Amino acid sequence: MSASAQPGAPAIGIDVGGTKIAGALVAPDGQIIHRERVETPAEATEQIVAAVADLVARLRERSDAPVEGIGLAVAAMLDPAAGHIWFAPNLPWRDIDLGAMVAERVGEPVVIENDANAAAWGEYRHGAGVDHDDMVLFTVGTGVGGGCIVDDRLLHGAFGIGGELGHVILDPDGPRCGCGNKGCLEVFASGSALVRAARDLVTSASPLGEALRERCGGDPDRLEGADVTELAQGGDLASTELLEELGTRLGHGIASVCAVLDPRIVVVGGGVSAAGELLLGPARQAFARHLIGRGHRPTPDLVLARLGNDAGVVGAAALAREHRAAGRGEG
Amino acid sequence: MSASAQPGAPAIGIDVGGTKIAGALVAPDGQIIHRERVETPAEATEQIVAAVADLVARLRERSDAPVEGIGLAVAAMLDPAAGHIWFAPNLPWRDIDLGAMVAERVGEPVVIENDANAAAWGEYRHGAGVDHDDMVLFTVGTGVGGGCIVDDRLLHGAFGIGGELGHVILDPDGPRCGCGNKGCLEVFASGSALVRAARDLVTSASPLGEALRERCGGDPDRLEGADVTELAQGGDLASTELLEELGTRLGHGIASVCAVLDPRIVVVGGGVSAAGELLLGPARQAFARHLIGRGHRPTPDLVLARLGNDAGVVGAAALAREHRAAGRGEG
Amino acid sequence: MSASAQPGAPAIGIDVGGTKIAGALVAPDGQIIHRERVETPAEATEQIVAAVADLVARLRERSDAPVEGIGLAVAAMLDPAAGHIWFAPNLPWRDIDLGAMVAERVGEPVVIENDANAAAWGEYRHGAGVDHDDMVLFTVGTGVGGGCIVDDRLLHGAFGIGGELGHVILDPDGPRCGCGNKGCLEVFASGSALVRAARDLVTSASPLGEALRERCGGDPDRLEGADVTELAQGGDLASTELLEELGTRLGHGIASVCAVLDPRIVVVGGGVSAAGELLLGPARQAFARHLIGRGHRPTPDLVLARLGNDAGVVGAAALAREHRAAGRGEG
Amino acid sequence: MSASAQPGAPAIGIDVGGTKIAGALVAPDGQIIHRERVETPAEATEQIVAAVADLVARLRERSDAPVEGIGLAVAAMLDPAAGHIWFAPNLPWRDIDLGAMVAERVGEPVVIENDANAAAWGEYRHGAGVDHDDMVLFTVGTGVGGGCIVDDRLLHGAFGIGGELGHVILDPDGPRCGCGNKGCLEVFASGSALVRAARDLVTSASPLGEALRERCGGDPDRLEGADVTELAQGGDLASTELLEELGTRLGHGIASVCAVLDPRIVVVGGGVSAAGELLLGPARQAFARHLIGRGHRPTPDLVLARLGNDAGVVGAAALAREHRAAGRGEG
């Protein structure tokens, strides 16, 4: 830690994805002061680490004071305490000490965290979860991710794999999930599931699929999740049904997670959450019918995320700032 | 707290059930020094509180030194910090300050905790979970209960209902659970589910049910879970299948909970766990096929509980002792 | 055949049930001219045969002309061509030549038929199925039975067990059916299933079950299917949902049977059909969403049965009359 | 009918598929005397009819005597009595009088029949179903088709859509089927389902999919059903499991159809049946556990088809021959 760092100074959050690396200078109140972004280098680890260090340098230049910590959000299974990455599905990283590698390049310690966890912390500190001690985030994008705040702390689990909310099981004999197992929430309630269901309808013989067929000119491969959402917003029955089915499954998954964690608030983010109430309405209904103890207890709030794609960098910056404060004995 | 209480002295654990109240003097190493037990009075709260106080008095008499805390395990939804009971399905308690009521009668503070949580803490401190920081307990008895240790702390949740592991959802359109919802783990994997499935087989037209029919003299109402276990141990195909189905469902539930909490060890207790490997074998197999990240990660241990029916009193005593130590600034 | 029998004369239909034997003199147009009924003797086969013969004698007395055939509907697996009963779940009959036994007592040939098949033939000739060559009957009573008319003939199957429509499979891992298998339509859509679901709701902790609890004074064993129907008719949400769930399952079963048989009309009878559109509405909706070829083909009609409890005797009489006419070379 | 046609002469069977038209001269005992084949013209109906007529002419040249009937098997929903096609998913035919069109070109009446029905009749008269009056055929190819013989007659249904055995429902909320509905047998138990499941495994993160990944060089689109069968025959666990899952689903579908039709024998044909016992073993086991009345009744045989791809032309020829004989009053 630089001796001159000040509590009111910004911290740096970096979100390392498979195609791009986003960075931001984040104020103590969670506001983004400045953004930078680069393509994720296709080559080896060294290049990616260099790109991250370069991004850090560019962000530091924009800060008047030394930054109050650097946090990295990574789509990987990792051990945050050790700064160690075990496995990243979309990056060439297996068993590397990422924390130490980046720290050496930037000349100060860095905090690393799983990206969905970082996003959850972002929403918890500066978004939809402010003022609650127990929060759960579901991110419904290509897959379904999750992050859990239990008693004011991020849940990591014994092996650093806790909070994989997309993989609670809704149907043990159901379709194969991308994770290799069967019937996970993700296989029913992800953006990929939505697209797949829409394409199946297009290639089926059903008259229901007419609007979807028109939308993609009969070529199911051109259909994306946003098409379904827009058609549903325009009143197409089949598209509305597809979002309704997804929302219902999501609601079942949320109810299952609430039986374990009993959060105060459930936040739904990710690309598919752009469908808003078309998704959240059915989710809320299914959730309410399956919540343990319903009728004898308060119902957790079910709300949309507020930070959008910024949740990861905001959360990573907040984690880094708090880690540093704890090191100073303020935490 | 009595000024003369000593860290090496025993603590008192009390387990308040619907039909009996069990109490024990528990040594710091978890050994039970002395037991007492009374019937649960059928009348009002006051009588039950008096019976608890009486049990405490009898246990104190057996201790050479003032006890190191008093803990109560109760089958109820409650707020342990406030000592407040919200709702108890099998006791006449709605919204009462049980902690204060008992404390007044016994002249010192008492700790209250949900019974499955207390049992989990017992196994964690002195049973199957010793030496791990993240543990989950499933109790498979009349219902399916649970208790979760996350990062060395009992999980309570925002409303004190966390760890209701019997109510993760295995089939959202499945049969009605005793909780009023549908397709919970409990409806497939409890002792009641086992008995119901066995009775259904007896009253069905299937030749498979022959041994079960003989066992109960054709009267399905005489059939109990222990009959199924014994028949299975003797090689009856249908009974073995019934335990196998229960174990498989349990394994699916465990896998779902592991996706959320990522524990280091999963402990299975409760009456049905007497079936041992006839239950745990299929559970382990189903769990292994549905564990998130399998093939890229270590598998949590899946083991039988060690403390049997004592887990509740041992855990309640341990919680009370630790609470007192924390009050002294040792925790 | 008696030489003086006349085509315009009535025929006799008998419905042998587990608790009563109903008989009727039935006109060629299906109208019932006269009824008789006796308790089913609890003793052996001989007494039941005698009771049937006695009923035939009393009915003959009420006919001006010799009757145009005698038909018996029996709740049994049987071979109608041979007049042979293989197995009757609720009667003391295993492997007996019932046709010959009754014929000897009444002095003329008798036709025997499975009761659901006889009911289907009754509806086909004189009820809801008039004017169609392909009809399916679902009887939703204690269990779910069925009878199928394919190309103007009753479907019997190779072993005389055809048309067991209550045992098409809706969920291969579902609850145990009374037949010993799992997840049959009957386990979800019978009157027994309705009562069981209602009782489960009563004993559950759910506030939803309040009206049902009141209805039975808190004693679930006092609850019957008719209570659910009446509460639903009075607007109770839970009861309406229970019928809706039953109807939905029934609709799925109907769609499955239609993929095999492609009937022109589907008739729903039995005690639960008293719920009328509360049952048929959801059934029709679920059926429409699962009918093979929907959008490219006409939809079979889905209607209520018309003959009520008389379907069996009317059908048995019609079968006997037609059998006799065929013997005369009129068929 | 030509006056000089003789009962011992061959009949012609034609199988009109989406990519080729196969024709054969078929002896009265079902043996194929001579084959011809052409590509299916891509253009309009007229060209296809001309190609069929041309094929008939070439086959007639090979016969010493005038042929004993001409039968056409077509992958279409049709009315055989009227010779009318309603809808063909893979041919440019909507509402045409195909029978009359071909008859005009070839100068004698022709019989038309749905292709799966024709195949069923082929197996019934000259293949696996010889000597039984009640037979069911499941063809497990790209889709799942079916044909049913009830009481020695082909089942057509009221709208000519009977015997769509691939569309009995196994899971009403299951994945979308090509027919537009959800959870049909076909979506779980067709060759397409097998390929899809294998590809999902290849793209999943599961170590189980290793052999499949190697087989296709990591490109899931190169994987075909035959790869799965060959890998399973070589002992690959995942491929064996995939066939086992398919067979289990097929067994459930068979059990459901048997509850309706009660056949004497169930025949399984189509491309996937090349897997033999790897498919039929699990199917038989699942079937046995779900057969209505099991334990109180004989079990229908479950066997492989015998005629392979010839079933259609053999069946079409047999139907044409019998139709002609019936016209002469021999039937």
In SS3 terms, chain B reads as CCCCCCCCCCEEEEEECCCEEEEEEECCCCCEEEEEEEECCCCCHHHHHHHHHHHHHHHHHCCCCCCCCEEEEECCEEECCCCEEEECCCCCCEEECHHHHHHHHHCCCCEEEEHHHHHHHHHHHHCCCCCCCCEEEEEECCCEEEEEEECCEECCCCCCCCCCHHHCECCCCCCECCCCCECEHHHHHCHHHHHHHHHHHHHCCCHHHHHHHHHCCCCHHHCCHHHHHHHHHCCCHHHHHHHHHHHHHHHHHHHHHHHHHCCCEEEEECHHHHHCHHHHHHHHHHHHHHCCCCCCCCCCEEEECCCHHHHHHHHHHHHHHHHHHHHCCCC
Sheet holding D301-304, edge to edge: D153-154, D144-150, D135-140, D265-269, D301-304
Lowest mean pLDDT among B197-206, C220-229, D85-94: D85-94
What integer pLDDT is reported at residue B6 of this predicted model? 61
- Calculate the CA dihedral of residues A283, A289, A290, A295 and round it to 10 degrees: 130
- Tell me: do B102 and B185 sit in the same domain: no
Q: How many whole angstroms separate alpha carbon C274 and alpha carbon C282?
A: 14
Rounded distance between C-alpha atoms, residue D11 and residue D57, angstroms: 13
> Is B123 inside any structural domain?
no
CB C123, CB C148: distance < 8 Å: no
Q: Which two tokens stand for residue C9?
A: 């004369």
Identify whether residues D174 and D86 lie together within a single domain.
no
Q: Considering chain C, what is the average pLDDT of its residues? A: 92
Q: What is the pLDDT of residue C39?
A: 92
pLDDT at A1 exceeding the cut of 60: no
The DSSP secondary-structure symbol of A88 reads -
The residue of chain D nearest to residue C135, with distances taken between CA atoms, is D158
The total number of residues written for chain C in this structure: 331
Six token digits for residue B81: 């910090």
Residue B121 inside a domain? The answer is: no
Q: What is the pLDDT of residue B17?
A: 86
Residue C7 banded pLDDT, cuts 50, 70, 90: low
pLDDT confidence band for A128 (50 / 70 / 90): very high
| C176-211 residue pLDDT tens | 998 888 999 999 999 999 999 999 999 987 888 999
Closest Cα in chain D, distance from residue A67 (Å): 39
Contact call for A207 and C295, based on CB within 8 A? yes
Distance (Å) from the alpha carbon of B36 to chain A's nearest alpha carbon: 33
What is d(CA C310, CA B68) in angstroms, rounded to the nearest whole number? 77
Q: Determine the pLDDT at residue B179.
A: 85
Q: What pLDDT is attached to residue D105?
A: 96
pLDDT category, B311, cuts 50, 70, 90? very high
- pLDDT computed for residue D3 by the predictor: 44
User: pLDDT tier at B42 (50, 70, 90 boundaries)?
Assistant: confident
Kindly list the residues from chain A whose CB atom is less than 8 angstroms away from the CB atom of residue D175. 175, 200
DSSP output for D143-195: SEEEEEEETTEE---TTS-TT-GGGSBS-TTSPBPTTSSBSBHHHHHSHHHHH
Pairing between strand B301-304 and C11-16?
Answer: unpaired
Whether C326 is covered by a domain: the verdict is: no
Residues on chain B touching C209 (C-beta within 8 angstroms): 180
B208 CB within 8 Å of a chain D CB: yes
Same domain, B103 and B15: yes
Structure token digits, residue C18: 């587990």
Instruction: Identify the domain boundary among C114, C138, C165.
Output: C114
Instruction: Give the per-residue pLDDT at D7.
Output: 65
Task: Please name the chains neighbouring C, where neighbouring means 3+ C-beta pairs under 8 angstroms.
Answer: A, B, D
Is the same domain home to A105 and A147? no
Compare all CA atoms of chain A with the CA of B159 and give the residue at the minimum distance. A262
DSSP at A222:
G
In three-state secondary structure terms, D12 is strand
Q: From the CA of A33, how many Å to the nearest CA of chain C?
A: 50
According to the model, what pLDDT value does residue A7 have?
65
A109 and A152 share one domain: no
Are D255 and D287 a contacting pair, CB within 8 Å? yes
Q: Is the pLDDT of residue B15 over 50?
A: yes
> What is the structure's pLDDT at A214?
95
Which pLDDT value is given to residue C1?
Answer: 39
Q: What are phi and psi of B20, to 5 degrees?
A: -145, 160
- pLDDT of C2 reads 42
Closest partner residue to B295 among D207, D294, D296, by Cβ?
A: D207
Lowest-confidence region among A89-103, A123-137, C133-147, D266-280:
A89-103
Q: Using an 8 Å CB-CB cutoff, list chain D residues near B294.
A: 206
Phi/psi for A66 (5° steps) reads -55, 140
CB-based contact, B206 to chain D, within 8 Å = yes
Q: Higher model confidence: residue B17 or residue C130?
A: C130
Chain B residues lying within 8 Å of A262, measured CB to CB:
156-164
For residue C207, the chain B residues in CB contact (below 8 A) are 180
3-state secondary structure of C277: helix
Residue B113: exposure state from Cβ atoms within 10 A (0-12, 13-18, ≥19)? buried
DSSP C176: B
Residues A132 and A260 in one domain: yes
Task: Count Cβ–Cβ pairs < 8 Å, chain A vs chain C.
Answer: 16
Residue in C148, C161, C168 closest to D293 by CB:
C161
User: What's the pLDDT tens digit per position in C35-79?
Assistant: 999 999 877 888 999 999 999 999 999 999 999 999 999 988 888
The pair of three-digit structure tokens given for residue A234, joined into one six-digit string = 């325009």
pLDDT of residue A208: 85
For the stretch B253-304, pLDDT in tens is: 999 999 999 999 999 999 999 999 999 999 999 999 899 877 777 889 999 9
Into how many domains does chain A fold? 2
Strand partners, D79: D84
Q: Which residues contact C73 (CB under 8 A, 6 or more apart)?
A: C13, C14, C15, C16, C112, C113, C114, C115, C117, C118, C119, C312, C313, C315, C316
| Rounded mean pLDDT, C29-35 | 97
- Looking at the fold, whether C98 and C147 belong to one and the same domain comes out as no
Pick from A191, A185, A186: nearest CA to A272: A191
Q: Running DSSP on this structure, what letter comes out for residue C257?
A: H
Residue in D210, D294, D297, D299 to test binding to B, most B beta-carbons within 10 Å: D294
Q: B269 and B177, same structural domain?
A: yes
CA distance D187 to D118: 23
B116 at interface of A, judged by CB pairs closer than 8 A: no
pLDDT digits (tens, 9 = 90+) for D236-259: 999 999 999 999 999 999 999 999
Q: Give yes or no for residue A54 having a pLDDT over 60.
A: yes
Token readout for C76 is 């049994």
Tracing tokens 């009949």 back to the chain, one arrives at D11
Of residues C112 and D173, more confidently modeled? C112
Interval A174-224: pLDDT, tens: 999 988 899 999 999 999 999 999 999 998 878 889 999 999 999 999 999
Q: Do D180 and C295 touch (CB under 8 A)?
A: yes
Chains touching A (at least 3 CB pairs under 8 A) are B, C, D
Do C202 and C298 have their domain in common? Answer: yes
pLDDT, position A219: 94
Interface test with A, best of B261, B287, B297 (most A CBs within 10 A): B261
Give the chains touching D; criterion: ≥3 Cβ pairs < 8 Å: A, B, C
DSSP, residue by residue, C309-321: GGHHHHHHHHHHH
CA pair distance A126, A140, nearest whole angstrom? 20
As a whole number of Å, the end-to-end CA separation of chain C is 15
Mean pLDDT of B312-319: 98
Neighbours of B17 (CB within 10 A): 16
Give the pLDDT score at D2.
Answer: 42
What is residue C8's predicted lDDT score, i.e. its pLDDT?
A: 85
Whether the pLDDT of residue C331 is over 70: the answer is no
φ, ψ for residue D141, nearest 5 deg: -120, -135
pLDDT at position B231 is 97
Residue C3: per-residue pLDDT: 44
For residue C326, pLDDT over 80 is answered with yes
Residue C268, pLDDT above cutoff 70: yes
Between B26 and D92, the higher pLDDT residue: B26
Q: Does D200 touch chain A (CB under 8 A)?
A: yes
**Range C110-120 average pLDDT:** 96
Residues A204 and A198: beta-carbon distance below 8 Å = no
Taking the C-alpha atoms of residue B274 and residue B279, their distance in angstroms, rounded to an integer, is 9
Write out residues 276-315 of C within 8 Å (CB-CB) of A. Answer: 293-296
Domain for residue A5, yes or no?
no
Which residues in chain A are contacts of C205 at CB distance < 8 A? 293, 295-296
Helices B225-233 and B191-203: crossing angle in degrees, nearest 10, is 80
Which pLDDT score is estimated for C6?
61
- Residue type at position B61: E
Pairwise CA distance, residues D256 & C128, whole Å: 26
| Same-domain status, C148 and C277 | yes
- Same domain? For D301 and D157 the reply is yes
User: Percent of chain A scored above 90 by pLDDT?
Assistant: 77
The CATH number assigned to the domain holding C28 equals: 3.30.420.40
Sign of the dihedral defined by the CA atoms of residues A234, A235, A237, A240, in that order: positive
Would you say residue A69 lies in a domain?
yes
Which chains are adjacent to chain B, needing at least 3 Cβ pairs under 8 Å? A, C, D
B119 within domain boundaries: no
pLDDT tens digit sequence for D68-126:
999 999 988 888 988 998 877 777 787 889 999 999 999 999 999 999 999 999 999 99
Residue C317 lies in a domain: no
Greater confidence (C72 vs A133) lies with: C72
Residue A2 has pLDDT above 50, yes or no: no
Give the CA distances from residue B263 to residues A26, B129, B302, D1, in Å, rounded to whole numbers and listed in that order.
Answer: 33, 11, 10, 80
Please indicate, yes or no, if residue C311 is contained in any of the structural domains.
Answer: no
- Of A91-95, A169-173, C70-74, the one with minimum mean pLDDT is A91-95
What are the tens digits of pLDDT across the range B98-146? 999 999 999 999 999 999 999 999 999 999 999 898 999 999 998 999 9
Alpha-carbon B253 to chain mean position: 16
Q: Are the Cβ atoms of B207 and D295 closer than 8 angstroms?
A: yes
Q: How far apart are CA A209 and CA B331, in angstroms?
A: 63
Q: Pairing relation of β-strands A111-114 and A70-74?
A: parallel
pLDDT above 90 covers a percentage of chain B that reads 77
What residues make up the domain containing A49?
A: 11-113+312-318
Task: Judge contact between D171 and D184, C-beta under 8 A.
Answer: no
Per the CB < 8 Å rule, is D204 touching A179? yes
| A26: β partners | A11, A32
| pTM higher than the cut 0.80 | yes
| Shared domain check, A243 and A212 | yes
Report whether pLDDT(B220) > 80: yes
pLDDT band at residue C328 under the 50/70/90 scheme: confident
- CA-based angle A48:A52:A55, to the nearest 5? 140
pLDDT of residue C187: 94
User: Is A111 strand, coil or helix?
Assistant: strand
